[in-house]
Structure 1
Amino acid sequence: MTTLTSQTQQALVFEVAKNDLSQTRVVELNIELPLAENEVLLKVSKFALTANNISYGITCDALGYWQFFPVNNSPLDTASNSITSKANTVQHTQWGRLPVMGFADVVSSNNKDINVGERVWGFMPMASHFKIIGGKVNPTGFSDLNPCREGLSPVYARFDRVSANPFYQQKNEDYDILLRGLFTTSWLVDDFMFDNQYFDTTQYLITSASSKTSIALAFAIKQRGQRSAIGITSEANLNFVKSLGCYDHVISYNDITTLDANVSSILVDMAGGKKTLAAIHHHFNQQLRYSCRIGATHHGDIDLTDTQSDGLLPGATPTFFFAPTQLKKRSLEWGVGETMKQMNQSLLNYIEFCRSNITLSHTHHLHHVNDIYQQVLTGTADAAVGQIISFDTSSS
């Protein structure tokens, strides 16, 4: 346990406008020191930015993601100076901090069980530093007990100690933060469907098939080998998705009506757009026996408050999938150790698959982050490239 002797630590954090995700800013903050009891200061080493993070922004109000790292009354908000990444004309903007998956290092700690120098993996803001209230410490990790997390899933408050992870490999760090969080979700989706006998269906329909979460699901389905998977994607990504070899069939959104409507199906909707959702439901009608909503990559065609329209669609009523629920079920049935072993072994196999299909792009400069973010937001980012960001204060 060590505390810094200086009175402040400079930090940078990337924020987005809650009502317009294209509006962004970078804020300079001074984190107050010394740390209060049980507080821990983490320096972000690197994080991944994917379409999954955009889904967090779209569903933040509905699923509580804005609460993880609140802009108001956050420990970081001791002082701020806005550096606009895109011309900001929004008056009285409500800003939010998108969660990402990353690695961080403990640089100061006032918790006797959490040591300076520890490297952790977990859910964090797009920032250079952030402060947590450390607790629930055990040999494998610890949690953030910040009051803002009350009522939220404890899974997202957990930080895994790298030193205690038997599956950790330094060479895999970039792919790990790019893939682990979304692969866990996809693995649990496939496990949930298997657990429910696939709702008496014979195939999956997966939208936004080029997204890394969808690819992970298709990989998990193929590994299990019990059902076929049809990938549905844009014309621009059609060849890339076909080249992966993990879908049994790939079509564009324009070709949904060419599918055999008599085949009993599960829809896993990563796109979230009303038009695509309606097209699939109306085409398959009662043969669509489970409709699972996960992502929201088509952010321009989404209205999460319009649940009445969802209920009027033919076939199964669209239902949001909450990964922690299935994770808790399996942990109770199999034990936490066995559940983690199965997921992590599958993840290592998936990382090896992705090495030959997804290249990595590294960004270290502050003012390039917004450019990458805007590409991911608008869906113009190269699906074959994974974005890894080191948000260093020295890059400002």
Structure 2
Amino acid sequence: MTNANPTFVVDQDNLDHCATLPLPAITADELNDGEVLLAVDHFAFTANNITYAALGKRFKYWAFFPAEAPWGQIPVWGFADVAASRHPEVPVGKRLYGYLPMARQLRVKPGKVSKSSFIDTAEHRQHLALAYNQYQFTDTDPAYQPEHEALQMLLRPLLITSFLLDDFLAVNNFFEAEQIILTSASSKTALGLAFMLQHQRSQRGKPLTITALTSPGNTDFVESLGYYDKVVSYADIDKLDASQSTVSVDFAGNGEILASLHKHFADNMLFSSLVGAAHWDSRGGDKNLPGAKPEVFFAPGYWEKRGKEIGNAQLMQNFATLWAPLVASVQKWMKVTEVEGGDAVEEAYKQTLQGKVNPDQGLILKM
């Protein structure tokens, strides 16, 4: 059965170069004791996945689903079903949500199995972030609704990052800033953070101003949502009030934009957070910028830190209180597009890589 596990890969050093490899199927007979074979159903693909690829070597994203050089498999969030099992606690037919390859199959080695989840304890994943190694069973997930699988895939991984950023900023009292600026403000993670800041502002009293920085073509869309107080095009950075104390959360990964912000606000840039790489090809720029030194925000690391401080259950409960109202808001404007097959997946990847996917569109892919 050749080509029974078509697998989408990209060149780790040249993201424009991609292919669908006709890999042979993994059979139940190949499983070792304690292993499980997952049949990948469908998965979401967003600019966040481009970030995984752009930062693949730095944050070990290529290590989750190894491929033969020069190829790399971009991790995605999606749903799969247990197709075969040699683990007594993980029966065939169970549906789950988690980190998957862009393929039809995945072999895992479940550990720490509970009613709600398991951890993939495969040797090559032992040193990787725990948050990416956990698989949740849908039948015991209180947030799971079958009709909302698309929104869960598209939003939950991004909104966890949005939530952790929101928590981080609040814990630090927004670094005493009067304004928070979000670059790549139409990206789903930025929109999630903006919604959370807006949703909780009355009880917090901060931040005073939530400002969106986005491309000219997205300004109307971003303004229509009402998540931001001010929407500014990248070309108009110099029109912002430079005397306003500011925190920057950079989702764009564009060195020139970041430099412009720092030079404009100078010492009034009180904190600068680097989150994504939506504009992955423009990450250069000045290293010695005025104002606060930019700091990379790594969501899984912050989750582990906060989990130890307030408990994972409390952290998840805090997230759940924001998840429901945000999903209700997003449902009003997001258009979900589903595509299937190697050629269609490749086209969706290229469109996302080139920044051609509209911000109100959510892509769901299937190999």
Range that drifts further, 188-197 or 360-369: 360-369
Matched, 1:329 2:305: yes
1:161-180 mapped onto 2 (5 Å cutoff): 161-180=137-156
* Superposed structure 1 runs of 4+ greater than 6 Å apart: none
Q: Deviations over 1:102-129 (max 9, x none)?
A: 0111111111111111111111111111
**In the alignment, is residue 26 of structure 1 matched against residue 20 of structure 2?**
yes
**Letter in structure 1 aligned against 2:303:** L
Q: In the TM superposition, what whole-angstrom CA distance separates every residue of 1:45-96 from its partner, at most 9, and x where no partner exists?
A: 1100000100111011111111111114xxxxxxxxxxxxxxxxxxxx6110
The aligned residue for residue 206 of structure 1 is 182
Per the alignment, in what secondary structure is the counterpart of residue 60 of structure 1? Answer: coil
Offset of residue 290 of structure 1: 0.9
Aligned to 1:82: none
Contact 1:9 1:33 in 2 (8 A): no
Residues of 1 paired with 2:58 and 2:153: CA distance?
A: 25
The equivalent of 2:267 in structure 1 is 286
Secondary structure of the corresponding residue to residue 318 of structure 2: helix
TM-aligned CA distance change 1:336 to 1:8, over 3 Å: farther
Question: In structure 2, how many angstroms separate the alpha carbons of the residues matched to 1:346 and 1:115?
Answer: 33
Match of 1:89 in 2: none
Q: 2: CA distance between counterparts of 1:276 and 1:243?
A: 24
CA shift, 1:9, in A, is 9.3
| 1:159 matches 2:135 | yes
Q: Which residue of 48, 63, 66 corresponds with 1:67?
A: 63
Q: Which among 301, 322, 330 is matched to residue 346 of structure 1? A: 322
Aligned residue in 2 for 1:316? 292
Q: Secondary structure of the equivalent of 2:55?
A: helix
Find the partner of 1:266 among 247, 257, 266: 247
Does the aligned pair in 1 maintain the 2:160–2:319 contact within 8 Å?
yes
1:229 counterpart residue number: 210
Give the corresponding residue for 2:228.
Answer: 247
Specify the SS of the correspondent of 2:113.
strand
Once the two structures are TM-superposed, the CA of residue 171 in structure 1 deviates from its matched residue by: 1.6
Structure 1 SS opposite 2:57: helix
Does the 8 A contact of 2:2 with 2:23 survive in 1? no
Aligned to 2:34: 38
Counterpart pick for 2:78 among 102, 105, 123? 102
1:119 corresponds to 2:95: yes
| Aligned Cα root-mean-square deviation (Å) | 1.6
Inter-partner Cα distance in structure 2 for 1:62 and 1:371? 26
1:48 maps to which residue? 44
- Check if 1:11 corresponds to 2:5: yes
Q: Is the 8 A contact 1:361 1:387 kept in 2?
A: yes
Match 1:134 to one of 110, 127, 146: 110
Comparing 289-298 with 365-374, greater Cα deviation is found at 365-374
Do 1:219 and 1:350's aligned partners in 2 also have CA atoms closer than 8 Å?
yes
Farther-moved stretch of structure 1 (177-186 vs 193-202): 193-202
Query: Which residue in 1 is equivalent to 2:363?
Result: 387
Residue of structure 1 in register with 2:276 after alignment: 295
Q: Which amino acid aligns with 1:17?
A: D
How much has 1:32 moved relative to structure 2?
Answer: 4.7
Deviations for 1:246-266, whole angstroms, at most 9, x for unmatched residues?
Answer: 011101100011101111111
The TM-score, its normalising length taken from structure 2, stands at 0.95
CA distance in 2, matches of 1:187, 1:164: 22
Superposed CA offset, 1:293-330 (max 9, x none): 01101122124xx8xx43x1111111110112322233
Distance 1:167 1:381 in 2: 27
SS of the residue aligned with 2:56? helix
**Contact (CA 8 Å) 1:9, 1:32: kept in 2 or not?**
no
User: Using the alignment, how far apart are the partners of 1:320 and 1:259 within structure 2?
Assistant: 24
In 2: Cα distance, 1:302 partner to 1:32 partner:
42
SS in 1 for 2:109: strand
2:254–2:283: 8 Å Cα contact kept in structure 1? Answer: yes
* Structure 2 Cα separation of the partners of residues 128 and 219 of structure 1: 35
Percent of aligned positions that are identical = 36
2:171 & 2:120 partners in 1: Cα distance? 31
Consecutive unaligned residues of structure 2, counting only runs of 5 or more, are none
Does the aligned pair in 2 maintain the 1:118–1:161 contact within 8 Å? Answer: yes
How far apart, CA to CA, are the structure 2 residues paired with 1:327 and 1:372? 31
Aligned residues: 360
Q: Give the 3-state SS of the residue equivalent to 2:144 in structure 1.
A: coil
Cα deviation 1:216-269 (Å, max 9, x = unaligned): 110111111121311101011111111111011101100011101111111110
Q: For 1:122, what is the secondary structure of its paired residue? A: strand
Q: 1:185 aligns with which of 156, 161, 173?
A: 161
TM-score, normalising length: structure 1: 0.88
Inter-partner Cα distance in structure 2 for 1:147 and 1:192 = 32
